[in-house]
Amino acid sequence: MAKHYENYDRILVALDCIIFGFDRSGLKLLLIQRDFEPEKGKWSLMGGFLNREESLDQAADRILHKLTGLKNVYLEQLYGFGEVDRDPVERTISIAYYALINIKEHDKELVEEYGARWFPIDDLPDLIFDHSEMVEAAKSRLKYRASHEPVGFELLPEKFTMPELQILYEDIYQTKLDKRNFRRRILSTNVLNKTDEKQKKYSKKGAYLYRFDHEKYEEKVSSGESLVFKPLKL
């Protein structure tokens, strides 16, 4: 620690958000098209700069809100990217955050205004600066997180079917999972409530809708039960 603070460099602190969404066709990322130089026209993560009077978390929230119109979404700090030449304009560091949002709920007008688009996680365009690196880090963090905590539900609507949940996990883990083993393990956590409604959009037979039970989950966690959402060994 320094004796005085006067002689040190003040630096631009950026924040970049990796925004995950999910629908039946798979896991997706929300990207914007940069409308200014450098790298104008190229795809990038939604970002912004830290203001002196807000915390890192608040700044990330603000930036996410600006693009999606959403508040109170799952948002976790990922990593600080700090190569000297990461931004050609000026020395910056960037703290990357990743968000899990319900893809149905974001503000489509805002997204349009920003020239943003959802991309399938396995078919992303080239990104500016070190943003691809950030995305890779986010994917692997999500993998880890999803196998320890029920974050998957952040990406789903309130009611969802088992096949949907399975597609989500398969996309997160990038593997095929066995239907029977998957159901058994997910249901054995005892934090899903089966409704008697059926989702008939995607099949003739229809699939039962389930709801994640936050209270039951919190109960289990606080009673020290180690709840693991690991539908396969990784």
Partner DNA sequence: GCAAAAGTGTTACGAATACACCCATGA
Partner DNA sequence: TCATGGGTGTATTCGTAACACTTTTGC
What φ, ψ does residue 134 adopt, rounded to 5°? Answer: -60, -40
Q: Judged by CB, which is closer to its own copies: 40, or 214?
A: 40
Distance CA 31, CA 181 (A): 35
Give strand ranges (E) for 136-206: 159-161, 192-199
User: Which helix or strand (DSSP H or E) is residue 189 part of?
Assistant: none
Distance CA 167, CA 156 (A): 11
Under the binding rule (CB under 8 A), the answer on residue 56 touching its own copies is yes
Out of 23, 62, 73, 79, name the contact with its own copies by CB under 8 A.
79
Q: Single out the segment in contact with DNA by CB under 7 A; choices: 34-42, 119-127, 129-137, 161-169.
A: 161-169
Q: Judged by CB, which is closer to its own copies: 70, or 78?
A: 78
* Helices 162-173/179-188 angle, 10° precision: 100
Under the binding rule (CB under 8 A), the answer on residue 232 touching its own copies is no
Under the binding rule (CB under 7 A), the answer on residue 178 touching DNA is yes
Distance CA 158, CA 136 (A): 28
Closest CA to 210 of 226, 189, 234: 189
Q: Judged by CB, which is closer to DNA: 52, or 204?
A: 204
C-alpha distance from residue 17 to each of 20, 88, 107, 195, 214 (Å): 9, 20, 16, 34, 26
Out of 40, 203, 214, 218, name the contact with DNA by CB under 7 A.
203
Binding mask 123-162 for its own copies (x = CB under 8 A): ----------------------------------------
Out of 29, 32, 100, 192, name the contact with its own copies by CB under 8 A.
32
Under the binding rule (CB under 7 A), the answer on residue 149 touching DNA is no
* Residue ranges that bind its own copies, judged by CB under 8 A: 1-5, 8-14, 32, 34-36, 44, 46-57, 59, 77, 79-84, 89-93, 95
